[in-house]
Amino acid sequence: MGHGSSKEENGAAESQSKGSRRARLKQRLHLHRRRRSRSNSPSHSKRLDAENFAGIALLTLVRAEMKFKDKWLACVSFGEQTFRTNISDQTDKPVWNSEKKLLLEKNGPHVARISIYETNKMSRNNLIGYCEIDLLEFLTRDSDSNSNSEILDLLDPSTSDKIVGKISVSCSVEDPIETEKSFARRILSIVDYNEDGKLSFSEFSDLINAFGNQVAANKKEEMFKAADKNGDGVVSMDELAALLAIQQEKEPLMNCCPVCGETLEVSDKLNYMIHLTLCFDEGTGKQVMTGGFLTDKQASYGWMFKLSEWAHVSSYDVGLNSGSSANHIVVFDRRTKRLVEELIDEKIVLSMRAIYQSKLGLGLLDTGAKDILQSLSEKQGKKMNSVESAKDIPKFVEFFKDQINLAEVKHPLEHFKTFNEFFVRELKPGARPIAYMERDDVAISAADSRLMAFKSVDESLRFWIKGRKFSIQGLLGKDQCSNAFINGTLVIFRLAPQDYHRFHFPVSGTIQQFVHIPGCLYTVNPIAVNSKYCNVFTENKRVVSILSTAEFGKVAFVAIGATMVGSITFSKKEGDHVKKGEEFGYFSFGGSTVICVFEKDAIEIDEDLLANSARSLETLVTVGMKLGVSKKQANIGLPNIEKCVLQD
């Protein structure tokens, strides 16, 4: 009896030990599952065409050389993902040795931005330097050296012609077979409990059981014996990794990802391998950069967003469906194909929400706020034209230092005698190349702006404009609105205060007429555009010009005033024949908007612009980028869009 009881106790203890060990294993595998589900990273979730697969790049940030005062961290933004390193404890030459695997597609994002932030617990994180690296070009260029390391210049965020430091990086493409082996080694290291570099059968059994594949569980003894060449009951990590790589080709061991829990399509080897490699890298590893962020600014304040997530407070999202629920505005940079954050003063955001996103705010608008906005804009306009206002230029540049490139500006800062002179600044010749300049059947972006494009007004109302009474007739006015415009294509160019505020012709043609329409000066920020209580575009002060073109028919070009915009100035007159890309005019101080309305079936808008707009996601564009092609010539082939998007 006593002997039997001892066996039962030993068995219970062994069972409890196994249970505890498996629980620890499960906890380690699922350590970052919550963070991964929050990031919704497209590299893990979207299906990839094998023909578009370029490889998995391993990017490592080694160290930076700058003049440091406090601790530092680095962020890497690539496509719609951003990752951050640990905070460096060294102030002279911070060493990170942090790595991240990134999925490279032939038609996907190529440019990674590396941002360096100064950080401490008492003050705001400060962007001090950045660089960009075209990973696909870096990895495919001819080189006599076998080294994949490079030292890159770190540029001043406010001007790209000033170097503030250097950063050492390395980048390589993993061989697919080595990727599988590397993945197997990493996941197996989790169950190497005694960390001796070898796995016992008990440790291996725990791993297979954690995968939850019953078929594999029934074959674990067979697989283990195949790896245990000398029969000593243990196998090395490399031996077992090689065995599992072979087994994955025959019969995958996992039905779902052990990190994020997503069901895996075992018949699709390419996506299976990519998902496991990238997802598992994000969930484990001491030197792997932390993911789950959309922009580098969000990543630099990672601890804040952990708190907001814990408190169930909406912080960031891709796209903007309701201005009242958005704390920040995230837009898609067309040139680099990554997400960036638009800077807005927090107090202004709160004020705009109070006015434009509530019935109380609507009441204020109806009882005098319109007159207040008009008076405020006039006073602010006078102030910005005063000599005293010039002192505000450096502060403005500092606030938007990573979004205003002084190297592109035609004149140095000391040239501007008032703030408004700087606000309507000109750029150096060639700073904005015009796509397909020789082809009048190709339309271009009219402004440095955040762009939304819709095939019809109905689509714009569904995805972006929430005003209950918006219409093309209300926008253009009865006399200018022909039947062809009513069901036409709508393109909205929203200029933020930090943007270059001169607008240009999107098409070539003749200016047929100008029509000045009086109105209010509501803000054109998405918080107001997405308000159901007012109709920003049809109620604001605006100037409608009708362009007569050979390739697109009539095109309506609407320059819309906004809060703080005292005037809209045109550099052309009625009857002028104009070429696309030529300057049309400029807005004085404040944010503002240009809307182009094309006649029905006149233009085929680029698909990437339509796709982003369907997600309620604005696309950051610059003057001269390709917008679309005349449907008269849509059957004529054009080079890949990257060639014209990346030229500037």
DSSP 8-state secondary structure symbol assigned to residue 620: E
DSSP 8-state secondary structure symbol assigned to residue 367: I
Strands 619-621 and 329-333, how do they pair? Answer: parallel
C-alpha–C-alpha distance, residues 502 and 446, integer Å? 9
Name the region of 97 (left: φ>0; alpha: ψ -120 to 50; beta: rest). left
Whether 449 and 594 have beta carbons less than 8 Å apart is answered as yes
C-alpha–C-alpha distance, residues 616 and 570, integer Å? 31
DSSP 474-520: HHH-TTT--HHHHT-EEEEEEEPTTS--EEE-SS-EEEEEEEEE--B
C-alpha–C-alpha distance, residues 89 and 40, integer Å? 31
Q: How far apart are the first and last CA of the chain?
A: 85
CA distances, 616 to each of 461, 465, 561 (Å)? 11, 10, 23
Whether 253 and 220 have beta carbons less than 8 Å apart is answered as no
User: At which residue do the structure tokens 């999202």 appear?
Assistant: 317
User: At which residue do the structure tokens 């963070």 appear?
Assistant: 35
Whether 341 and 297 have beta carbons less than 8 Å apart is answered as yes
Q: Residues for the chain: how many in total?
A: 648
Report which of 443, 475, 630 is spatially closest to residue 558, judged by C-alpha positions.
Answer: 475
CA dihedral 87, 93, 98, 99 (to 10 degrees): 140
C-alpha–C-alpha distance, residues 480 and 363, integer Å? 31
Strands 290-293 and 81-84, how do they pair? Answer: antiparallel
C-alpha–C-alpha distance, residues 2 and 6, integer Å? 6
Active-site residues, by number, are: 448, 504, 592
Cβ neighbours for 301, distance < 8 A, ≥ 6 positions apart: 125
Whether 28 and 207 have beta carbons less than 8 Å apart is answered as no
C-alpha–C-alpha distance, residues 85 and 97, integer Å? 9
Whether 342 and 328 have beta carbons less than 8 Å apart is answered as yes
Write down the H helix ranges in 93-211: 135-140, 176-189, 201-211
Whether 541 and 603 have beta carbons less than 8 Å apart is answered as no
C-alpha–C-alpha distance, residues 138 and 151, integer Å? 12
